[in-house]
């Protein structure tokens, strides 16, 4: 069985690895001329790490364990009752290093670079992906792991364009050791809908991030925008390191995003085409779990397609399992977003993480 995968991001590469391990032949078509990762670092939760462990991907060797506890705007640590330390543990990994590791594990021979999928033809016996250079790739099935602006989704579910999460913006960067003394990891829930903090990276640098719900109109440089929001997390001056890290980061190294999301879909598959990762469910990152959940998609596709020759039935089972899980994700994520106080935010966040890593429906 041969699978064509559109997109060599974290989910496309993990899907490729899962399908190869399950005995399928894989061709990953990536639009970019090289394997790369938009963004800086990301936190992987226990559910994602279990998938990588099972695939023998060695992801723990490139990450730094961290703990997700929040402080309130004035610096008081919030430890929501009812949760154990394991509900707060995650692994911080550098996105580009992760994608390189996964691409090596999949094998260069299975990846075509500079190969944007623009559309597909589907028949009862297979799928043909059409690439932007006019060439085609045939397979028994096509997985659209081509991100929030997915070309595969545009054809499979017309009218499902990614939407702006109005007023929700994020700023982030990975900095090498800057001379700023970072002696701990710290996350804070500030005033004005701002949140953020920093975590030490495996190689002695730091990852800092800031985001804001209902942001006022953006003015100034991205560094000025981030510095302005850092003040919302520094009531009484208890948290100066975040602003120092931002100040020490070159302007061009700061990534700013208007947050986008994919509207809830009631269909993720046809007989021979399936969506995975952000292509299916790009969500607001205030629960920092989009990739971890996309990695679950990849693992399930590997499990189902490796144990059958009935592709349409496997894809229906995939959809039947994933859509309800994401409906619950949406409910739990809304509870975090609309929390009235930092204590409520932290409690809903821990409730979401607990639910996700336990793998409950």
Ligand X SMILES: Cc1cc2nc3c(=O)[nH]c(=O)nc-3n(C[C@H](O)[C@H](O)[C@H](O)COP(=O)(O)OP(=O)(O)OC[C@H]3O[C@@H](n4cnc5c(N)ncnc54)[C@H](O)[C@@H]3O)c2cc1C
Name the site residues for ligand X (rule: CB under 6 A).
6-12, 29-32, 39, 42-43, 116-117, 145-147, 151, 170, 172, 257, 259, 277-278, 285, 288-292, 294
Min dist CB 156 to ligand X, Å, is 13
Residues 44 and 271: their CA atoms lie apart, in Å, by 31
Nearer to ligand X, 74 or 112 (CB): 112
Nearer to ligand X, 135 or 308 (CB): 135
Nearer to ligand X, 212 or 270 (CB): 212
Nearer to ligand X, 72 or 278 (CB): 278
Min dist CB 93 to ligand X, Å, is 9
Nearer to ligand X, 9 or 302 (CB): 9
Nearer to ligand X, 43 or 139 (CB): 43
Min dist CB 284 to ligand X, Å, is 8
Q: In this chain, which residue has its C-beta nearest to ligand X?
A: 9
User: What sign does the CA torsion over 136, 138, 142, 145 have?
Assistant: negative
Residues 285 and 288: their CA atoms lie apart, in Å, by 5
Residues 105 and 64: their CA atoms lie apart, in Å, by 20
Q: Cβ distance 7 to 279 under 8 Å?
A: yes
Min dist CB 236 to ligand X, Å, is 27
Min dist CB 309 to ligand X, Å, is 27
Min dist CB 203 to ligand X, Å, is 18
- Separation of first and last alpha carbons in the chain: 30
- 3-state SS of 329-343? HHHHHHHHHCCCCHH
Looking at the DSSP bridge assignments, the partners of residue 258 are 169
The phi and psi torsions of 313 (rounded to 5 degrees) equal -65, -40
Decide the pairing of beta strands 273-275 and 141-144: parallel
- Planar angle of CA 23, 28, 30, nearest 5 degrees: 165
């Amino acid at each position: 069985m041969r699978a064509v995968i559109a997109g060599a991001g974290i989910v496309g590469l993990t899907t490729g690895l899962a399908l190869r391990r399950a005995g399928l032949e894989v061709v990953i078509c990536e639009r970019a001329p090289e394997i790369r990762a938009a963004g800086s670092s990301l936190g992987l939760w226990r559910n994602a790490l279990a998938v990588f462990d099972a695939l023998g991907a060695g992801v723990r060797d490139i990450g730094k364990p961290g703990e997700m506890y929040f402080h309130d705007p004035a610096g008081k640590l919030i430890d929501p009752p009812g949760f154990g330390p394991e509900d707060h543990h995650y692994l911080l990994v550098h996105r580009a290093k992760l994608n390189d590791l996964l691409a090596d594990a999949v094998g260069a021979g299975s990846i075509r670079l500079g190969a944007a999928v623009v559309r597909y033809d589907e028949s009862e016996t297979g799928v043909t992906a059409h690439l932007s250079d006019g060439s085609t790739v045939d397979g028994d099935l096509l997985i659209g792991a081509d991100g929030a602006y997915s070309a595969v989704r545009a054809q499979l579910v017309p009218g499902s364009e990614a939407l702006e999460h109005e007023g929700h913006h994020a700023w982030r960067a990975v900095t090498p050791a800057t001379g700023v003394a970072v002696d701990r990891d710290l996350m804070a829930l500030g005033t004005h809908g701002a949140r953020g903090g920093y975590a030490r990276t495996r190689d002695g640098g730091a990852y800092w991030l800031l985001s804001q719900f209902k942001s006022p109109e953006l003015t100034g440089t991205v560094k000025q925008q981030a510095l302005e929001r850092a003040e919302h997390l520094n009531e009484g001056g208890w948290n100066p390191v975040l602003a120092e890290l931002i100040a020490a980061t070159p302007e061009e190294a700061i990534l700013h995003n208007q947050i986008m999301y994919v509207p809830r879909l009631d269909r993720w598959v046809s007989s021979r085409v399936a969506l995975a990762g952000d292509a299916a469910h790009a969500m607001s990152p205030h629960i920092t779990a989009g990739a971890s959940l996309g990695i679950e998609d990849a693992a399930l596709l590997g499990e189902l397609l490796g144990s059958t020759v009935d592709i349409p039935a496997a894809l229906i089972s995939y959809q039947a399992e994933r859509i309800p899980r994401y409906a619950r994700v949406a409910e739990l994520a809304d509870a975090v977003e609309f929390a009235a106080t930092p204590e409520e935010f932290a409690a809903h966040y821990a409730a979401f993480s607990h639910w996700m890593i336990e793998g409950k429906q």
